[in-house]
Chain A
Amino acid sequence: MSVIKVENLRYRYPRQTELALDGISFTVEPGEFVGIVGPNKAGKSTLCQALVGLVPHFYKGAIGGRVEVAGLDVHATPVAEVSRKAGIVFQSPFTQMSGAKFSVYEEVAFGLERAGIPREEMLRRIEWTLRLLGLWELRDRNPFALSGGQMQRLAIASVLVMQPEVLILDEPTSQLDPAGTSEVFAAVTDLCRQGMTVVMAEHKVDRIAARPTRCWCWTGARCWPGARPAWCSAGRGSRSAAWPSPP
């Protein structure tokens, strides 16, 4: 049974005339890794945000079609509830820190506290998550004192600790140096091995293509699975390669 079902998704931001997403349909199976590549403004981030309900609950705007994640009708469910099933990690690790916690350990607990998770369960989940992402040794550090890669791993940990069924990553390495990028991809690889369903929008096509994956290319609000470029499906990606034109 598909963990993500998107049917004819159409979305337009408030005060905009053009559609940001235009007739998107796809399904994702449990444990699958899906890479989404495409140029800027293609709608990758909008799609990621639609999968957790930020579109339209946070941004408003006009939406049509249906998005179902882990059995929840995302359009009809508050973001706080969807976040227990599907977590999203954004581009900037810096702005994903709550700003209200003074250690890595406490930062990971932030969402659990808001979700009303009992303390014993909280402690168990935090330790598991921090160890999984290699942050256990850094647990007493101030989140803002971490490197970019460490901070992004902390952002992933903060989402993962909610034990979502789906992890959505929206260009999580766009602001990281090569070392930070490698840290994040290594963490994602580990998560995939554990059976986590991952949807990842990313510009670093070579990294995406280097793993068993389904990869979709996007241009101008539409998904073009038929336009999958050779360098993407063959795992010989290069960021300098030209983006494909719609057929």
Chain B
Amino acid sequence: MQNTLYVPGDSCVHRLDPVSKILLTVVGLVLTFVLPGHLLPALLLAAMLVLLGTAGVLRRVWAVFAGVALIAITFFVVQGLVYAGNATPALTLGPLTFYREGLLLGLRLTFRLYNILASTLILILTTRPSDLVESLVRRGLPSRFGYVIIAVLQIIPIMVEAAGRITDAQRSRGMETEGSLWVRMRAFIPLMGPLVTSSLIATEERALALEVRGFASNRKPTFLNDETIPSYAWPVRIAALAVLLLGIAGRVMLS
């Protein structure tokens, strides 16, 4: 049961510890909003893609990028047509005139969108969720929060499966669950009652099971897996922070 976007692998990016990857992601996200113009955001995106390529996860990245392409196109269309600072016509398609200023803003927003995605995907695609949470728990995140984060990843597909079972049962008793949007919407309401009820019952049973496995124990937890931090983690962290400082300093000097 694969419930996460994690792509198994043994690249140097995969082997990097979760904390370093969180730092890379945060640096990428901050720079996304700090870097001015178009060239620097393009370079940031290129750097992120190099990292993702090194991890061997580009196929998954392209799929995600393609999934949000409509949003990027919307940026160009809307800003190119109606941006308040539009002054220089760049392209005319029938009755529509796109302006240079709006299209450049659309490009800037598109870089932001893809830089946010790329920064986040470095963490998500190359880190096992349980490793990520465990790493945070080792550093003081309350284990209850850690449990909630990780359990949600597993529980959502289970709820989807339960919803399928309930729908099958309702269908077997003659309820229409497929067809037009209206039919599907009508079928959704009677699904919610049993789904919520069964989920609440399952939650109580799971709470009991966790309780008797010592979940509420006040003892300091230990971990099954040793945390391995590769030798290149610190150079990566320092380089990431240096790039972040350079980006912020450049932005301050330019403004």
Contact in complex: A113, B221 (CB < 8 Å): yes
Give the size of the chain B interface in residues (CB under 8 angstroms). 33
Contact in complex: B214, A80 (CB < 8 Å): yes
**CB closest residue in chain A, given B210:** A98
Q: Determine which of A105, A115, A116, A144 lies in contact with B154 in the assembled complex, contact meaning CB atoms within 8 Å.
A: A144
Contacts of A102 in B (CB 8 A): 128-130, 154
Q: Is B219 an interface residue (CB 8 A)?
A: yes
In Å, the complex CA distance between A111 and B208 comes to: 13
Stretch of B16-24, B31-39, B76-84, B222-230 lying at the A interface:
B222-230
Stretch of A20-28, A117-125, A234-242 lying at the B interface:
A117-125
Contacts of A52 in B (CB 8 A): 212
Contact in complex: A106, B130 (CB < 8 Å): yes
Contacts of B216 in A (CB 8 A): 78-80
Q: Determine which of B129, B214, B226 lies in contact with A84 in the assembled complex, contact meaning CB atoms within 8 Å.
A: B214
Q: Is A15 an interface residue (CB 8 A)?
A: no
**CB closest residue in chain A, given B223:** A113
Contact in complex: A111, B221 (CB < 8 Å): no
Q: Is B217 an interface residue (CB 8 A)?
A: yes
Assuming the contacts A79-B212, A159-B213, asked whether A100 and B219 have C-beta atoms less than 8 A apart, the reply is no
Q: How does the 8 Å CB contact mask read for B192-236 relative to A, with 1 for contact and 0 for none?
A: 000000000010011111111111111111111010000000000
Contact in complex: A58, B208 (CB < 8 Å): yes
Q: Is A112 an interface residue (CB 8 A)?
A: yes
In Å, the complex CA distance between A87 and B213 comes to: 8
Q: Is B1 an interface residue (CB 8 A)?
A: yes
B243 CB to nearest chain A CB (Å): 33
In Å, the complex CA distance between A96 and B205 comes to: 7
